[in-house]
Amino acid sequence: MSLIRKEPESVFDIIGIGIGPFNLGLAALLDSVPELDAVFFEKKQEFDWHPGMLIEGTTLQVPFLADLVSMADVKSRFSFLNYLQEHKRLYHFYFLENFKIPRKEYNHYCRWTADQLEECRFGKEVIDVALFELNGEFLYEVHVRDTGTEAVERYFSKHLVIGTGTQPFVPEHLRSKLGNTVFHSSQYLEKKHYCLGAKSVTVIGSGQSAAEVFYDLVKEQSKFGFKLSWFTRSKGFFPMEYSKLGLEYFSPDYIHFFYNLPQDKKDEILPEQDLLYKGISAKTIADIYDLLYERSVAEEMPDVQLQSMTEVLDIEERKDAWSLRCLQWIKEEAFEHSSDVVILGTGYRPGIPGFLSGIKNLICWDDRGRYQVTRDYRLKTHINTPNAIFVQNGELHTHGVGAPDLGLGAYRNSVIVNYLAGREVYPVHEKNVFQTFGLGKKCVTISV
């Protein structure tokens, strides 16, 4: 490992890379810790959370308490309730009587928070990270490019936190087909007009995004007259697990249980927990069904096709439409389906940011090329140093289903802040749920 030797002008305690909800929440919690000096960089010009999916009528899938800070500090000035009060909307929300807030409002709340934090700097793209040694102590050197002027500046920090989030996932065999009429659901609002001008539209996927896109298009169908199809490889259009005891899996208690399992056991369990975080909300399913039911009055069946257990093997461009080669995998029957527009609700995947290439050999990777992560969210490295690289929502495989959950963001950030401060700034409680995930104190182990 080669080390760069330069004299830093100033040193931050932590540099955050990427400003999504998780790093924004960290910046908000750090704002009341004056002994820690932080800065956060984001290449976008402003905070904008999934702009292509800010469909009217959609809400968060978690209660408003899963804002940036409340689960760590309900007295914070950056709480959602304080946002409502500042915008003279507290009574409106009170009369709304809905725990889940509109997605559009959540995005505006996050922008309001970011605008108040000088630590958050937009239009700044991190292009490289290197390790810096000075008098036997290590620092991280971060190269940042201004997206407007193209000027590159360097910053130095004791610690880093990676919050670049997940990226839209498209199966490799479909990537060459992407364009204006084949696109990921993350671009839906941007390209919705192509759907409204088409004769046929097909949505692919089994999660909340696919369901929201389908429902929005069903509402438009009567006016624009296109044929609408929805295919999913899953066994059905199933709801996300949302029972109260099921929700306890999104707790620090379950994180602790899951983290201490062997990695092969974690990799075995995770695919079986899809419906804890990948299903469709029961309300969205009900809304879709109710609308289809109303449309079918007097035997006027809507021009809609919903088909599960169906995998799209390939998409081929024909003269006037796309031809989808599909497989009903239960019956092992192949068929072709024609559609003018294809929307891929194929989810999101974590990725390894390119700016880590300079320190890639420093980081410990598992046998699948994934981060190795400590219980307190630090990447394991090959060098013994207190200088941490924290990761936000890149630890699903090590910490479990709660990694992408907004409700656990404040907990993870509490752990990070406490590590940085060397003291308990935000209390982290050990017992938060009624159930026990491992062996409880009342259990007596026996040999089997």
Cα(48)–Cα(29) distance, integer angstroms: 20
Q: Is the pLDDT of residue 353 over 50?
A: yes
Query: Tell me, what's the pLDDT at 442?
Result: 65
Cα(50)–Cα(265) distance, integer angstroms: 33
Q: Is the pLDDT of residue 108 over 90?
A: yes
Q: Is the pLDDT of residue 4 over 50?
A: no
Helix or strand holding residue 145 (H, E): strand 137-146
Query: Tell me, what's the pLDDT at 128?
Result: 97
Q: For the chain, which residues make up each domain, given as ranges?
A: 11-167+348-421, 170-240+278-344
Q: Kindly write down the DSSP assignment for every residue of 339-401, as one continuous string.
A: ESEEEE---EEE---GGGGGGGGGB-B-TTSPBPB-TTSBBPBSS--S--EEESS--HHHH-T
Query: Tell me, what's the pLDDT at 274?
Result: 86
pLDDT digits (tens, 9 = 90+) for 26-73: 999 999 999 999 999 999 999 999 999 999 999 999 999 999 999 999
In angstroms, the first-to-last Cα distance of the chain is: 48
Query: Phi and psi dihedrals of 72, rounded to 5?
Result: -110, -35
Average confidence score pLDDT of the chain? 94
Cα(208)–Cα(394) distance, integer angstroms: 21
Q: Is the pLDDT of residue 440 over 80?
A: no
pLDDT digits (tens, 9 = 90+) for 158-213: 999 999 989 999 999 999 999 999 999 999 999 999 999 999 999 999 999 999 99
- Give the fold, CATH level 3, of 11-167+348-421: FAD/NAD(P)-binding domain (3.50.50)
Cα(361)–Cα(376) distance, integer angstroms: 21
Supply the CATH classification number for the domain 170-240+278-344: 3.50.50.60
Q: Is the pLDDT of residue 234 over 60?
A: yes
Answer whether 11-167+348-421 and 170-240+278-344 agree in fold: yes
Q: Kindly write down the DSSP assignment for every residue of 311-348, as one continuous string.
A: EEEEEEE-SSSEEEEEEETTTTEEEEEEESEEEE---E
74 Cβ partners below 8 Å, 6+ apart?
none
Amino acid at position 15, single letter: I
Residue 349 and residue 356 in contact, taking contact as beta carbons nearer than 8 Å: no
Q: Is the pLDDT of residue 3 over 50?
A: no
pLDDT digits (tens, 9 = 90+) for 403-434: 999 999 999 999 999 999 999 999 999 899 99
Share of the chain above pLDDT 70, in %: 96
Q: Is the pLDDT of residue 21 over 90?
A: yes
Query: Tell me, what's the pLDDT at 448?
Result: 66
